[in-house]
Chains A and B, each alone.
Chain A
Amino acid sequence: MSQNLTMSPDLGTEDWDPDVITRMIFIGPGAHVSEQEIVTAFHMLDLPLTIKNTCYGSMISGKSEDVYKAVEEIRKLDPNHIFTKERGFAPGDPRRCRGHRFGPREGFHQMEKEYRILGFVANALEERKDVKVEPKKPVDVDEFEKIMNECLDKKE
């Protein structure tokens, strides 16, 4: 596993600039745009950004002002299905990029888990629906006893 502890990477000036930020753009299930369309839209904005096409959407890196402007513009394409979040490391950083190390990227598992309910969140954003959910209760003792006895009787 020593490969996972990458050497001190050789970083450029942009990587050390505290004003340079990275954001991940996620396309939720049922979106009306594709990953490629998003990347093309970013290019069309003509802002000084590093844009990376990924399986979940895309990743952009650049000066914070440009990044926030780009995110605002890109959200307009499909406001309810495009989600964004911050990322600490720049795209392709050898400390996180899978091209340089083994195993899934840190943060992938959380992303995978949240992606499962992202479609529901998009639906909830599209149209507000007031639903009532019954709180989950433990099984009643009498009911439990009944089921238990039924199972035991069946065994005999």
Chain B
Amino acid sequence: MVKVAIYPPNSLILADLIERKGHTPLVLQKQIRQKIKDPEIDSPPMNITEEDPIKGLKYAAIEVPSGVRGRMAIIGPLIDEAEAAIVVDGAPYGFGCIGCARTNELSIFLLRNKDIPVLEVTYPTNQDETYVMVNDINDFIDSLEETGEEE
């Protein structure tokens, strides 16, 4: 079982395709669940605490806006855990859940720089492009299984 990071980290299609093959998608919802079930957070709707920008320092420099560091405190651990990654490129504006273009760029940069297999697919707009995307993802996941078996 391989832990696969996905981008956007809340994607239904990517997470589902990975789970179908028996692997674990690293989704943001699990991180959010940990946050909201934490009894130490007094005001649960405000999911970012003052600790988070400090944790985010592991991934971004101090000059980087606190919003990026706060977001990285949640997404960063997923990137650390990743053994493979699938990234969707060329998605329309507003696709994904991060709500911050710089965090998106930084997360994708960190995934690419990590020494793990990364598949980059283009956001499909029609049926043929979807066939290509699904086939690419399935082939990529199958190749992960093969490399896992070799080890």
Contact = CB atoms under 8 A, between A and B. Distances in A.
Contacts of B129: 133
B13 A121 contact: yes
Interface of B: 8, 10-13, 15-17, 19-20, 27-37, 39, 42-46, 92, 94-97, 124, 126-135, 138
A89 B34 CA distance: 10
B135 A26 contact: no
Contacts, number: 103
A26 to B, nearest CB: 6
Contact of A121 (B19, B28, B96, B130): B130
Nearest to A118: B13
Given A8-B42, A22-B33, A131-B128, 15 more contacts: A83-B16, A85-B10, A88-B29, A89-B36, A107-B97, A110-B11, A110-B96, A113-B92, A114-B11, A114-B12, A117-B124, A120-B127, A123-B130, A124-B134, A125-B20
Secondary structure of the B side of the interface? helix
Interface of A: 5-6, 8-9, 15-18, 21-22, 24, 26, 83-89, 93, 95, 106-107, 109-111, 113-114, 117-118, 120-121, 123-125, 128-131, 133
B69 to A, nearest CB: 21
A108 to B, nearest CB: 11
A127 B81 CA distance: 33
A87 B8 CA distance: 15
